Structure 1
Amino acid sequence: MTDMTRRAIRITEPRSELSVTAQLLPEKAPENAAFLWSYLAEPRVVAGIHAMWTGPEISCPIPTTHLKGEAFAQALPAENATLTPQPGDIVLSYVPPRMWGGNPHAIFDIGLFYGQGARLLFPIGWLAGSVVAQVLPEERDQFASACGIIRRNGACDVTFTRLES
């Protein structure tokens, strides 16, 4: 399928029973959606932890080992940008090399936003992220409930898988 308008991702985490579908938004965030789709050419397991600064978010920083040598691992523009993600938003945040504490690697983070009051305020300041996908409306209550369980349980492994319809 060459048209990304019907592409989605499945997000799962067994301990919390997280299991939701998020529709990609290529018409609003084309480069970010293309990055995520390329990254998920194979299912990926990414460590997730409840965010400390941004509010109701499970933060899933993509390991640099997943990106090394990958053509798609390039600087990403802010597209469909937000500083205040809404419940159900899947936000791809990009931090250039050396911007955060001198880290020599770029940071790519998949944020799972599940509640009201989120903000993209980090120790380095405000950083707009790209809303790259949204959890299906009918799954948002389950999404919020599962993310709340992750918050209470601590670190976990989140699996991201491509879906095509």
Structure 2
Amino acid sequence: MTDDAKGPAELCDPAQRTVLFSEAQSGLHARATLLDTLAPASAGLLWDLAGTGLSFSAIHAMWTGPEISLPIDGAKALPGQDLRAISVENATSYPQAGDIALVCAPRGTWRDGPSFDLVDVGLFYAAGGRLLMPMGWIMANICARIVDEDLAAAAAACRTIRINGGCAITITRGA
């Protein structure tokens, strides 16, 4: 979602592609509509991740508020994908409840950052998200939104993940 605050009805077209985030222990089962028009490259990257058949390590974020973060080694998950090709699109520093945020940070983007090409997928499940990190403010591309009817259950599952600790979340393709 951009900082000029579009409402969910303006962001989600039911005819668009969807991805599913799932994790058994917490009961997470959240459908998200890709924002192909607002963030085409980022939505495409998320679609590609969903097509890998992989599960990704996930943790409750420490700095960004109500977020489950999937810090993914982009080179391992999507060999040959040039993360520098993912530009800023539909970006914000203040994700809203239901936003799926994507940060692409090739190795060396930040001093003392990860030693791999980072693709971070963030599931924001409640209000109060902010992307203030130890290195300062960053922006994320909002590339999908959890469908309204799944958001309350997804928020409950994300709170369970926060209590239980790290887990593995599977992203699969929907329609």
Same fold (TM > 0.5): yes
- Please report the TM-score for the alignment, with normalisation by the length of structure 1: 0.90
1:98 match: 108
2:172 to 158, 161, 165: 161
Give SS of 1:117's match. coil
Task: Give the aligned length.
Answer: 158
| One-letter amino acid matched to 1:43 | G
2:88 match: 78
Runs of 4+ in 1 over 4 A off after TM superposition: none
CA contact (8 A) 1:35 1:73 kept: no
Equivalent residue runs for 1:1-165 within 5 Å: 6-63=16-73, 64-67=75-78, 69-70=79-80, 72-75=81-84, 76-100=86-110, 101=112, 103-164=114-175
Deviations 1:103-122 (A, max 9, x none): 44321100000011110111
Deviations 1:1-54 (A, max 9, x none): xxxx52100110101000010000010001111111122223220000000000
- Higher mean alpha-carbon deviation, 73-82 vs 101-110, is at 101-110
**Identity over aligned pairs, percent:** 41
Following the alignment from structure 2 to structure 1, what is the Cα–Cα distance between the partners of residues 34 and 101?
Answer: 11
Give SS of 2:37's match. coil
Give SS of 2:83's match. coil
Give SS of 1:78's match. coil
Q: Which runs of 5+ in 1 are unaligned?
A: none
Q: Which runs of 5+ in 2 are unaligned?
A: 1-14
Q: 1:89 to 1:43 in 2, by over 3 A?
A: same
- Please report the TM-score for the alignment, with normalisation by the length of structure 2: 0.85
| One-letter amino acid matched to 2:59 | I
| One-letter amino acid matched to 2:61 | A
RMSD of equivalent CA atoms: 1.4
